[in-house]
């Protein structure tokens, strides 16, 4: 007697009831009773072309049904010495690196060169040759000028120095036209340390960005952590830790991180 591919035939199903010699019927087990109906339902679904049945939903986890997990919050990097108010504002704004944003804002506000020790300044007052002098900024950041006396200039721009001298000369030379020029740049120094090929101090006559400073240091060693580079900057009594992710820049991303370095900045490559 032939059996169907969809399950046992009627005679075979009846034979299930015969389990002992003598034809004494016995009760079929539960899995035997379910096998034939289940096979019939599956065959009918296949014949009907119900290929759209998502069999994977039978064992898909509840977590997968709930959709992709929410992205973890990105870490907030704050400058050293940041106040709680600054920390809260940064967290609410969702900023990843407020140090970078602050550095870029400072560049936009005042991109001019800032005078430092060992720089040379030429100061002149129009139509008064006695008030013309070339001075060297001392290690303490100050200069001396006739009728003005001692004047701290370190950290100031040439425009700020000119305005300060004109203000002090006003009681001696009304409407004085003062000119201040930086004729020697010697104070601009940046430092690159850590896992680079040529760490050290670099004195150049122009401003550098982070990538240019890394190039002067001969690039990074194979064991450098390119995503955790830091620029350490001192502002008064506070130090800023500005992040720099070289891997992003290699992909053409995060170009705002490539900030201009100030004199005294330290590029730390872990």
Judge if 180 and 193 occupy the same domain: no
Judge if 144 and 171 occupy the same domain: yes
Q: Which of 147, 168, 184 finishes a domain?
A: 184
Q: How confident is the model at residue 5 (pLDDT cuts 50, 70, 90)?
A: very low
Judge if 128 and 196 occupy the same domain: no
Judge if 180 and 133 occupy the same domain: yes
Domain-located, residue 76: no
Q: In this structure, how many other beta carbons lie within 10 angstroms of the beta carbon of residue 161?
A: 22
CATH code of residue 171: 3.30.1950.10
Domain-located, residue 263: yes
Q: Which of 137, 163, 184 finishes a domain?
A: 184
Task: Tell me the per-residue pLDDT of 178-202, one tens digit each, with 9 for 90 and over.
Answer: 999 999 888 889 999 999 999 999 9
Task: Tell me the per-residue pLDDT of 55-86, one tens digit each, with 9 for 90 and over.
Answer: 444 445 454 455 555 444 444 444 444 444 44
Judge if 208 and 261 occupy the same domain: yes
Domain-located, residue 98: no
Residue 257 belongs to domain spanning = 189-269
Domain-located, residue 110: no
Overall domain count for the chain: 2
Judge if 229 and 160 occupy the same domain: no
Q: Which of 27-36, 89-98, 154-163, 227-236 has the lowest mean pLDDT?
A: 89-98
**pTM > 0.75:** no
Judge if 170 and 201 occupy the same domain: no
CATH code of residue 249: 3.10.560.10
DSSP-derived secondary structure for the chain:
---BTTB--HHHHHHTTB-STT--B-PPPHHHHHHHHHHHHHHHHHHTT-TT--GGGGT--HHHHT-SPPPPPPPPP--TT--HHHHHHHHHHT-S-HHHHHHHHHHHH--S----TT-EEEEEETTEEEEEEEEE--TTSEEEETTTEEEE-TT--HHHHHHHHHHHHTTTSTT--EEEEEEE----EEEEEESBSS-EEEE-SS--BHHHHHHHTT-B-TT--GGGEEEEEEETTEEEEEEE-HHHHHTT--GGG-PBPPTT-EEEE-
Domain-located, residue 242: yes
């Amino acid at each position: 007697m032939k059996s169907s591919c969809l399950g046992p035939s009627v005679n075979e199903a009846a034979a299930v009831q015969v389990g002992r010699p003598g034809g004494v019927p016995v009760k079929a087990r539960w899995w035997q009773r379910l096998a034939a109906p289940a096979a019939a339902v599956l065959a009918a679904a296949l014949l009907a072309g119900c290929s759209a049945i998502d069999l994977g939903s039978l064992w898909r986890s509840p977590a997968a049904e709930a959709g992709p997990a929410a992205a973890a919050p990105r870490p907030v990097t704050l400058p050293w010495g940041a106040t709680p108010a600054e920390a809260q504002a940064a967290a609410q704004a969702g900023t990843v690196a407020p140090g970078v944003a602050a550095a870029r804002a400072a560049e936009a506000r005042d991109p001019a060169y800032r005078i430092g020790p060992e720089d040379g300044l030429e100061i002149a007052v129009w139509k008064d040759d006695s008030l013309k002098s070339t001075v060297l900024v001392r290690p303490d950041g100050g200069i001396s000028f006739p009728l003005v006396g001692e004047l701290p200039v370190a950290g100031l721009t040439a425009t700020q120095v000119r305005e300060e001298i004109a203000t002090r000369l006003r009681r001696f030379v009304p409407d004085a036209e003062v000119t201040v020029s930086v004729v020697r740049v010697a104070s601009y120094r940046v430092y690159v340390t850590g896992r680079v090929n040529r760490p050290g101090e670099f004195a150049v006559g122009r401003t550098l960005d982070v990538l240019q400073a890394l190039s002067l240091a001969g690039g990074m060693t194979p064991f450098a952590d390119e995503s955790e580079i830091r620029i350490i900057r001192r502002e008064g009594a506070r130090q800023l830790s500005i992040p720099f992710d070289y891997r992003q820049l290699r992909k053409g991303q995060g170009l705002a991180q490539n900030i201009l370095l100030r004199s005294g900045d330290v590029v730390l490559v872990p």
